[in-house]
């Protein structure tokens, strides 16, 4: 009827004057967090020195992040009647989207992903709300979640919120996510065969050593609170069997008990058998039920220990390994430099934390730093900052855009076009890659050494627990140099090689306290270690202070001999047997394995006795490997001819880090499904297909790291199915949900 080129427009009427007094929707602020974050710190931290700009706590790559969008309603004029706005000040059913874009070439952005609001997907915007009330509950903000694989690079977050009646607002922020850190965890798995207590005639119990799956599940809290990527690197440093109850009292505040110290020495000796690697954090994992208390974990320099399933103790002890001190609460941690976040009590975390596994908010009013002995615990601003760019977590710069290429292009005169200015500055700045590179250059390679491990008792009494010659990294992590000298002499009494002993002060996770700042050195008994260059067999070992000889051992008349070494594979076990001829009674024995034709060797078991040992396939590489026996009397270390063992029929089992067994969630909130599967060699397994099955019926996710809406109130079963190669494996956990009544 009408020509196609005619366009019709709606008539334009002037806006009614009263409309300017109606409320409108506004984004009041945005918080991006992975564990703890600054947001409007001036509204709750009274000391300006404790405050930081919004989102200035460092975010790390390849770890999920929550986006909390804070909403307000505003009015265009101050129309007030008896102290209250005339019109309604709430806008309900506000929802929105976040467009995540990644920077390229210094100024260009390409869209990476569009995020929808998390369940329930809507929130009410208010004219005014108490800061503590709003910040302290996830239901008062519109929330989004950036997946781990999208958290990398210089990101632009364009947030758009909408509501009925054409309410709308949008804003954009920039975040820098170019730092990636990795938890590299290697377990020393401790079995127990000993008395139930230190009491005379106490009954004996036998407990199997934990497995690499137990190491994975116990690390769940560490992965949540540390600034590290979601994917940890796990490995096995073998097993030892312990026979002393850990129920004895601490020698004094600031130290572990004598039996705990002896266990730390045994774990450190196992690290030496494993090569004493400096690229991992070693953790001695104890079986559930081992006699202990009041001390429930102990750390000494580069060695930490704790029970299977005790996630808080692992996070605490590994933090000692990363040089974190105690926080001042519970009668410990008198650290003058640990801040008091006013107006909060001692050891407060200082800001609001967020658990990315379930969206729970951790308030600084009652949550304490995990390095204190008060609770409930979370990571504080202070210790989170000390873990950023921490050498023990292997920091690296990743996902940088190509701005440096463009900078080089500017050097050429033929490029005459102008370069647009970069977007607004991001906080914090990009980590300096040169600094990180120099830090990595400090890593050492294994060499031939004589490794001495023992206990230094009061009055300079020396107890040697391990004396091995092998290839290892000659570094005592966390040690303090003493004036006690270990020497190897030849037949003429001349020094062949020597090294000072290094004390390793220990800290107990119990509330007993820990001497901070290295002041624990000198407490006896304590663990010590020394590495001497292995240049000759020698005639006499002695340890002396000045001219006073504290310990000595002469070389035996002959070196040990391995008369027989064999193994047998049956069912799901590997049984190893051996026979030794030695001039020394009960020489030190250990087993090692290699999957690279003997170029590097890893510990399978140390402190072996009796000529026989049995191992489950879960403790072995899932492929063909070489197995050898080491026998040492301190002067000679003999290695058997390697045996070829084929355990390729073993299929690794998966672990579920979230939810953990019997965990409680709020129905309708987000919950994380986090699974992991690792080869016993520590290498990742290429997963082909993943299924999360809820209550045996619903397929709720198809990725190892996924987020779902927590189901209705009650008991639930969640099964992880993983398919790789010709294998299918599964793991099931039980969890619970509760419904929170709506207002």
* pLDDT tens digits, 116-170: 999 999 999 999 999 999 999 999 999 999 999 999 999 999 999 999 988 899 9
Whether the pTM exceeds 0.85: the reply is yes
Q: 79-93, 99-113, 487-501, 658-672 — which is least confidently predicted?
A: 79-93
Cα–Cα distance measured from residue 158 to residue 170, given in angstroms and rounded to the nearest whole number:
7
If one counts every other C-beta atom within 10 angstroms of the C-beta of residue 198, the result is 15
Cα–Cα distance measured from residue 505 to residue 521, given in angstroms and rounded to the nearest whole number:
5
The three-class DSSP label of residue 295 is coil
CA 718 vs CA 193, 498, 659, 674, 710: distances in Å: 35, 57, 8, 11, 11
Token pair 């040992």: residue: 613
Q: 423-427, 551-555, 639-643 — which is least confidently predicted?
A: 423-427
Tokens of residue 356, six digits: 């990315």
The three-class DSSP label of residue 315 is helix
Q: How confident is residue 657, by pLDDT bands cut at 50, 70 and 90? A: very high
Q: Which has the closest alpha carbon to 377: 479, 539, 224? A: 224
pLDDT in tens, 169-180: 999 999 999 999
Query: Can you give the pLDDT at residue 619?
Result: 86
Query: Can you give the pLDDT at residue 251?
Result: 72
Peptide bond into 294 cis (omega under 30): yes
Query: Can you give the pLDDT at residue 255?
Result: 67
- In DSSP terms, 145 is beta-bridged to 66
E-strand ranges in 23-122 read 24-33, 65-74, 80-81, 84-85, 90-104, 108-116
- In DSSP terms, 233 is beta-bridged to 184
3-state helix, strand, coil in the chain (%, to 5): 15, 40, 45
Query: Can you give the pLDDT at residue 682?
Result: 78
Is residue 562 a contact partner of residue 495, using CB atoms and an 8 Å limit? no
Cα–Cα distance measured from residue 578 to residue 570, given in angstroms and rounded to the nearest whole number:
17
Higher pLDDT, 99 or 423: 99
Averaged over 620-637, what is the pLDDT? 92
- Please state, rounded to an integer, the average pLDDT across all residues of the chain: 86
- In DSSP terms, 728 is beta-bridged to 723
Q: Which has the closest alpha carbon to 54: 64, 42, 63? A: 42
CA 135 vs CA 9, 271, 464: distances in Å: 45, 45, 55
Query: Can you give the pLDDT at residue 457?
Result: 92
The three-class DSSP label of residue 169 is strand
Phi, psi of 158 (to 5 degrees): -100, 110
Cα–Cα distance measured from residue 270 to residue 588, given in angstroms and rounded to the nearest whole number:
12
Is residue 212 a contact partner of residue 680, using CB atoms and an 8 Å limit? yes
Is residue 21 a contact partner of residue 76, using CB atoms and an 8 Å limit? yes
The alpha-carbon radius of gyration of the chain (Å, integer) is 30
Phi, psi of 393 (to 5 degrees): -110, 10
Question: How far, rounded to the nearest angstrom, does the alpha carbon of residue 44 sit from its chain's CA centroid?
Answer: 29
Query: Can you give the pLDDT at residue 124?
Result: 94
Q: 62-71, 426-435, 702-711 — which is least confidently predicted?
A: 426-435
For 280, counting Cβ atoms within 10 Å of its Cβ (0-12 exposed, 13-18 middle, 19+ buried), the class is buried
Question: Above 50 in pLDDT, residue 432?
Answer: no
Which of 242-251, 613-622, 665-674 has maximum average pLDDT? Answer: 665-674
């Amino acid at each position: 009827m009408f020509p196609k080129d005619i366009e019709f427009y709606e008539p334009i009427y002037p806006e009614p004057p009263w409309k300017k007094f109606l409320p409108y929707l506004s984004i009041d602020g945005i918080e991006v967090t992975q564990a703890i974050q600054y947001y409007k710190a001036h509204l709750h931290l009274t000391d300006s020195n404790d405050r930081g700009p919004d989102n200035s706590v460092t975010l790390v790559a390849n770890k999920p992040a929550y986006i909390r969008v804070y909403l307000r309603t505003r009015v265009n004029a101050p129309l007030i009647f008896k102290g209250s706005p005339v019109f309604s000040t709430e806008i309900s059913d506000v929802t929105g989207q976040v467009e995540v874009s990644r920077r390229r070439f210094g100024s260009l952005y390409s869209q990476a992903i569009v995020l929808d609001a998390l369940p329930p997907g809507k929130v009410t915007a208010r004219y005014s709300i108490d800061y503590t009330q709003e910040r302290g509950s996830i239901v008062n903000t519109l929330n989004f979640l950036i997946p781990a694989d999208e958290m990398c690079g210089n990101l632009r977050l364009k947030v758009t919120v909408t509501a009925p009646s054409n309410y709308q607002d949008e804003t954009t922020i920039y975040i820098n996510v170019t730092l990636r850190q990795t938890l590299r965890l290697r377990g020393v798995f401790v079995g127990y065969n000993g008395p139930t207590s230190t009491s005379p005639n106490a009954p004996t119990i036998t407990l199997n050593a934990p497995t690499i799956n137990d190491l994975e599940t116990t690390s769940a809290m560490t992965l949540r609170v540390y600034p590290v990527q979601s994917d940890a690197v796990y490995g096995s440093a073998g097993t030892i069997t312990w026979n002393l109850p850990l129920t004895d009292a601490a020698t004094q505040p600031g130290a572990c008990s004598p039996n705990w110290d002896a266990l730390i020495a045994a774990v450190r000796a196992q690290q030496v058998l494993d090569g004493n690697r400096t690229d991992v954090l070693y953790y001695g994992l104890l079986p559930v039920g081992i006699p202990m208390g009041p001390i429930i974990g102990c750390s000494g320099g580069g060695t930490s220990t704790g029970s299977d399933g005790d996630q808080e103790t692992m996070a605490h002890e590994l933090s000692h390994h990363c040089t974190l001190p105690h926080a001042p609460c519970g009668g410990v941690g008198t650290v003058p430099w640990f801040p008091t976040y006013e107006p909060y009590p001692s050891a407060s975390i200082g800001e609001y934390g967020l658990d990315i596994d379930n969206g729970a908010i951790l308030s600084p009013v009652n949550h304490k730093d995990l390095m204190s002995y008060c609770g409930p615990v979370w990571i504080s601003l202070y210790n989170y900052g000390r873990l950023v760019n921490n050498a023990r977590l292997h920091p690296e710069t990743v996902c940088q855009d190509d701005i440096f290429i463009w900078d080089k292009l500017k050097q050429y005169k033929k490029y005459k076009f102008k370069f647009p200015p970069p977007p607004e500055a991001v906080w914090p700045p990009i980590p300096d890659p040169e600094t990180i590179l120099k830090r990595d250059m400090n890593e050492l390679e294994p060499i031939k050494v004589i490794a001495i491990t023992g206990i230094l008792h009061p009055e300079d009494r020396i107890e040697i627990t391990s004396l091995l010659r092998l290839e290892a990294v000659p570094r005592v992590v966390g040690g303090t140099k003493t004036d006690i000298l270990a020497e190897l002499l030849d037949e003429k009494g001349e020094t062949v090689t020597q090294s000072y002993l290094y004390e390793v002060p220990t800290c107990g996770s119990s509330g007993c306290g820990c001497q901070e700042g290295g002041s624990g050195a000198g407490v006896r008994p304590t663990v010590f270690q020394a590495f001497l260059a292995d240049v000759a067999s020698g005639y006499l070992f002695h340890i002396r202070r000045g001219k006073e000889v504290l310990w000595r051992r002469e070389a035996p008349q002959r070196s040990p001999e391995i008369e027989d070494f064999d193994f047998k594979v049956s069912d799901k076990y590997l049984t190893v047997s051996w026979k030794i001829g030695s001039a020394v009674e009960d020489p030190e024995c250990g087993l090692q394995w290699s999957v690279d034709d003997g170029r590097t060797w890893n510990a399978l078991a140390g402190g072996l006795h009796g000529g026989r040992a049995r191992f489950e396939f879960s403790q072995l590489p899932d492929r063909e490997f070489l197995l050898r026996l080491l026998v040492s009397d301190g002067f000679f270390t003999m290695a058997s001819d390697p045996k070829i063992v084929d355990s390729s029929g073993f299929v690794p089992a998966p672990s579920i880090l979230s939810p953990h067994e019997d965990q409680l969630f709020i129905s309708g909130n987000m919950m994380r499904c986090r699974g992991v599967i690792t080869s016993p060699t520590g290498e990742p397994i290429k997963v082909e297909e993943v299924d999360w099955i809820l209550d045996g019926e619903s397929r709720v996710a198809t990725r190892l790291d996924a987020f779902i809406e927590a189901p209705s109130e009650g008991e639930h079963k969640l099964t992880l199915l993983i398919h790789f190669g010709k294998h299918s494996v599964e793991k099931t956990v039980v969890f619970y949900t509760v419904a929170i009544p709506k207002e």
